[in-house]
Structures are given as structure tokens and as C-alpha cells.
Amino acid sequence: MWVWLVTGLALGGVSPALLRVLVRRGIHPHILLLAWLTLLSATVVQIALPGLGDVMHRCWLVLHNGQPDRLDGIGGALSAAMLLTAFVRAGWALRRSAAARRALRDRHLGLARILGGARRDQGVLWLPVAEPVAYSVPGHPPLVVASTGLRAVLDADALAGVLAHERAHLARRHHMLVAAADAAAAGFWWLPLMRASPALVRTLVELDADAHAARLHGAGGLRRALQTLRPAPVAAPALGITSECTELRLARLAAQAPGDTVSAMAALGVVASLLSAVSITVLLAVTVLASCAT
């Protein structure tokens, strides 16, 4: 049992360095997001295995009048304590994040009603603000918010790239990935992988949205927009066009070839790994429940 626990802790310790190397090597951000999810799931699974295994082992011993091993019992208890603490903290973080998203969207809808100049145009909420800003707000319905100042400083191609970038955040559920990364950091704050996840995922979703927008409108317009706009703070649940990784994004856009797409086989392999990890966890949980029931 201890082997699984130690392996999970080791994986959570070395994964951030591995992911940073892959980012520097220019691996497509969509694949890196899938890799992050896989490593996250594998780490949690291996930390959970001692607890699940201990419960199953104890059920088997009760049926066969055996005595549990003290060392395995300690490992199982430690695993269970880690998971219980992590899930409580992560659940609380997810709840706060969901409340913040709802409040942000409601504020923007209320602002649109108050400001007579605000209007929806092709799915974009235009605010009469001189400062050039653009960001996306998740919810039902989701919102792409932009200022009239943005339209004043960007050419048509650059503006199209910015709006496509924000629509990509919404269509590809990037806000949910960011919320999951924040929850993982809150639950497993002592693991390097989880602690690094918020900054890593925010960088990857920006790169992924850039790649999607560049495929639709070309990289040139989006690069001009990033070079023109200055970083502007947005509320935490929103994802804005400017961020702290602008230099990396510009370098990626400069290197991106027209029509660049994600390797389907590579993405399929990562998804298969993720599904395998989740399936193993479900199978173990079902086995434990079945063993105790008999």
C-alpha cells in the first residue's frame, strides 16, 4: 500500500518540471491540458489506492477471521485523511468559484441594462468605455465583453482575432479548467503539481485560445492586438485578452504555421490514459463496495 502512496506523492512532485519542459518545447497547449488532467488524475488515484485497498483488505479479513496489518492500516488511514481534507477544501473552492462566476455575469447584465449605450452585437456585449479591454464571462448565457475603446485602436483583423480568442475560452470550457486547477491547489496545496496548476493552466488556456483564433483568422491580427494592448486587470472568474504570459504567446503565434492543428493521435492517446485512470478508480471503488456488501 505504501508503494502507491509514495508513487503518487513522487508523481505530484516531479510533474510540474515535466510540464514546464513540454511548454518550452512548443507542444500544443490542447495536448498539454490533457496531459495535465492525466497527471492530476493519476496522482489522486495513486494517493487514493492505499485507502481503498485498506478498506477492501479489512472487509476480506473480517470475512475470513484474519487480523489487519498495522503498517498497511496506517497507510490507509493517512491516504483517507489526505483525500477527505483535499475534497472538503476543493469542494469549498469550487463553490466559491461558481458563486463568483454567477455574480460577475449578473453584474455585467445589470450594467448593460443601466448603460444605454451598451448593446449586444453578434454575441458581444459592447460597453461604452474608452479603455481597450476584452474578456469572456462564463454562465448561461455566456458573455464576450468588449469596450468601444478596443474597436477604436484595433484594425478589423486584430479585432476579429481578439473576439475569436474570447469565444474560444467559452466554447472550450477554459473557465472550468481554471476553476478545477484552483480547486486542486486548494485541496492538495502541499503537492507541487497542484500548487503550480493555477498558473500553468491559465497560461495553457491562453495559448489554446490563441491557437484556435489563429486557425480562424490568422496569427498576424492577434499578434498586433497583443502588441497594442496593455495588460488590464479583470475580475477573477473572467479570462481577458491580456495576461502575464504575453511574450510567450507572441512567440508561439510567430512560430505557428497557417492551418496548424492538434495531432489527433496524440490527443487520443492522452484522453485514453485519462479514461484508464478514472476507470481504475471506479473499478476499485465498486470492488470495495461489493466486497464489504458480501
Q: What DSSP line would sit under the chain, residue for residue?
A: -HHHHHHHHHHHHHHHHHHHHHHHTT--HHHHHHHHHHHHHHHHHHHHHHHHHHHHHHHHHHHTT----HHHHHHHHHHHHHHHHHHHHHHHHHHHHHHHHHHHHHHHHHHHHH-TT-EEETTEEEE--SS--EEEE-SSS-EEEEEHHHHHHS-HHHHHHHHHHHHHHHHTTHHHHHHHHHHHHHHTTTSHHHHHHHHHHHHHHHHHHHHHHHHHH-HHHHHHHHHHSPP----TTSEES--TTHHHHHHHHHHPPTT----HHHHHHHHHHHHHHHHHHHHHHHHHHHHHH-
- How many domains is the chain partitioned into structurally? 1
When pLDDT is averaged across residues 228-244 and rounded to a whole number, the result is: 73
For residues 203 and 106, which has the higher predicted lDDT (pLDDT)? 203
Say what the pLDDT of residue 268 is.
Answer: 52
290 in Cβ contact with 56 (< 8 Å): no
d(CA 291, CA 131): 63
Say what the pLDDT of residue 143 is.
Answer: 87
**CA triple 44-45-46, angle to 5 deg:** 95
Say what the pLDDT of residue 81 is.
Answer: 77
For the ranges 74-88, 127-141, 205-219, the lowest mean pLDDT is seen at 74-88
pLDDT digits (tens, 9 = 90+) for 93-141: 999 988 988 888 888 777 777 765 555 666 788 888 899 999 999 888 7
> Which cell goes with 184?
486542486
Of 68, 47, 44, residue with least CA distance to 56: 68
Say what the pLDDT of residue 60 is.
Answer: 47
User: 84: domain range?
Assistant: 2-293
Largest distance between two CA atoms of the chain: 79
Of 213, 111, 131, residue with least CA distance to 165: 213
For residues 78 and 266, which has the higher predicted lDDT (pLDDT)? 78
pLDDT grade for 8, boundaries at 50, 70 and 90: confident
Say what the pLDDT of residue 174 is.
Answer: 95
pLDDT grade for 208, boundaries at 50, 70 and 90: very high
- Spatial neighbors of 287 by CB under 8 A, at least 6 apart, are 56
Percent of the chain with pLDDT over 70: 69
